[in-house]
Structure 1
Amino acid sequence: MNESKKNILIRLNRIEGQIRGIQKMIENDEECKSVLIQLSAVKSALDSTSAIILDTHAKKCLRGIIESKDEMDIEELMDLMKKFLK
């Protein structure tokens, strides 16, 4: 397994654990403020992980575009980036 994939899986496992923790917080009637803080942390972790995946995909896609000069690939990459940046 390459280092990037390993890093992504570690991050996703950590996020999964955070989500389970939030579920327990809800079950235990913890303060809304604490739950919201944890949700914000999960959102930030997802954004960071998404950025890593987008970066990896963009580099791979750009190599393919350079080799094939396919404009459809450029449009696909741009659409993906626009969705991510919303």
Structure 2
Amino acid sequence: MKCQNCSVKKKVRSEKEFKALLNRLSRIEGQVRGVRSMLENDAYCIDILTQVSAINAALNSFNKILIANHIRTCVKENIQAGNDEVVEELVSTLQKLMK
């Protein structure tokens, strides 16, 4: 089954980059499970909101790393190959992220 939101493009990441991104996502998953547990245990609203804010910060940090790696590899390689369309793709993505 094909992902509806995924392009057909692929990116081979170094083992170091892959593990670092995966570790960040695993921590975020743990934080989300923690918020679910807080909700199930009738935690105070402000405590839950504080944890949700931490999750948002962690996701933003993940995005910053992914974007930086994307610019250093995919964007750079595409521009060097004469594919300037990658710049518009990046601009469009950044605009979506900054809503």
CA shift, 1:58, in A, is: 1.4
Q: What are the Cα deviations for residues 12-64 of structure 1, in whole angstroms up to 9, with x where unaligned? A: 00010011110010001010010000000000000000111111111112322
CA contact (8 A) 1:15 1:42 kept: yes
Runs of 4+ in 1 over 3 A off after TM superposition: none
Aligned residue for 2:39, secondary structure, equals: helix
What is the percentage of aligned positions where both structures have the same residue? 37
Higher relative contact order (CA 8 A, sep 6+): 1
Q: Does 1:35 align with 2:41?
A: no
In structure 2, distance between residues paired with 1:77 and 1:84: 10
Q: Tell me which protein shows more helix as a share of its residues.
A: 1
Contact (CA 8 Å) 2:79, 2:86: kept in 1 or not?
Answer: no
Q: What's the RMSD between the two structures over aligned residues?
A: 1.4
Q: Which runs of 5+ in 2 are unaligned?
A: 1-13
Is 1:11 the counterpart of 2:8? The answer is: no
Distance 1:67 1:33 in 2: 49
Q: Where does the alignment leave 5 or more consecutive residues of structure 1 unmatched?
A: none
Q: How many residues align?
A: 86
Residue 86 (structure 2) pairs with residue 73 (structure 1):
yes
